[in-house]
Amino acid sequence: MTEKGVAAVDRALSIVGALGDARRPLTLSETAAATGLYKSTTLRLLASLERAHFATRDRDGRYRLGSTIHRLADGYERSAALEDEIAPVLQRIVDETAESVGFFVREGNERLCLLRVDSPRPLRHHIDVGVLRPLGLGASGRVLKLFENGAARASRRLLAALPVVVLGQDVPDLGAIAVPIFGSGDRTLGALSVSGPLSRFDRHLVAKVKRLLREMAVTLTDRLGGDATQFRWRR
């Protein structure tokens, strides 16, 4: 019977786990024993895992983790490094503005709040980390759309207009200001966004947030391998 649904995924993941826990490559029999699966089932799932490079078979027929696992591990380490760099910046922005700040990344036609520090004030803007939001709403969404092809292909006019300011146009009573963060190859890593009640986003706060976001964008882009000179263009 063909493996289907969640059960098949669970079984395949149990094989990946067994290969990861093993101190050496495993034979088919050893893999089956470690997972409690029939050898025939184990063989079918290993074939699928091999095609996706989650597992690989040595010349002697033993199995070990494949290149996809190592690529995902590298991606996880880069993500952790990204968090290490960005989290202190978010806290500094909150300390200096008393407004909420988040780091958003694009997920298809939506945006995901990857990191967040909320304002200490009782009246504040809050978005849960890990929740997908419409890409078409908010300053961060606009930034992610405008710079979807990175910095290198963006016009000087677009770069000079940064940060993007959205004051009540998308969501009533909400102000937001955002700027892109660029990485190696001038790709857009995400958007840094400050948001809060529109009533507090007066001329003084908007000017302060814009200056601070540009400063932090230069700092983070430089630390994360991007070209910080992209932020030097002025209108």
Domain ranges of the chain: 5-65, 77-232
From first to last of its 235 residues, the chain has per-residue pLDDT tens of 444 557 889 999 999 999 999 989 999 999 999 999 999 999 999 999 999 999 999 989 999 998 888 777 656 656 666 788 899 999 999 999 999 999 999 988 899 998 999 999 999 998 888 888 888 888 999 999 999 988 888 888 899 999 999 999 878 899 999 999 998 888 899 999 999 999 999 999 999 999 999 999 999 999 888 888 888 765 5
DSSP category for residue 125: -
Q: What is the pLDDT of residue 2?
A: 47
Give φ, ψ of 163 to 5 degrees. -75, 165
- Does 1.10.10.10 match the CATH number of domain 5-65? yes
Q: Residue 29 contacts by C-beta under 8 Å, 6 or more apart in sequence?
A: 39
pLDDT at 181: 94
Burial bucket for residue 150 (CB in 10 Å: 0-12, 13-18, 19+): middle
Q: State the number of CA atoms in the 13 A half-sphere of 106 facing the CB.
A: 24
C-alpha 158/C-alpha 180 separation (Å) is 11
Q: What is the pLDDT of residue 71?
A: 73
CATH of domain 77-232: 3.30.450.40
Answer whether 0.75 is exceeded by the pTM.
no
The DSSP string of 152-207 is TTS-HHHHHTPSEEEESSSSTTEEEEEEEEEBGGG-EEEEEEEEEEGGG--HHHHH
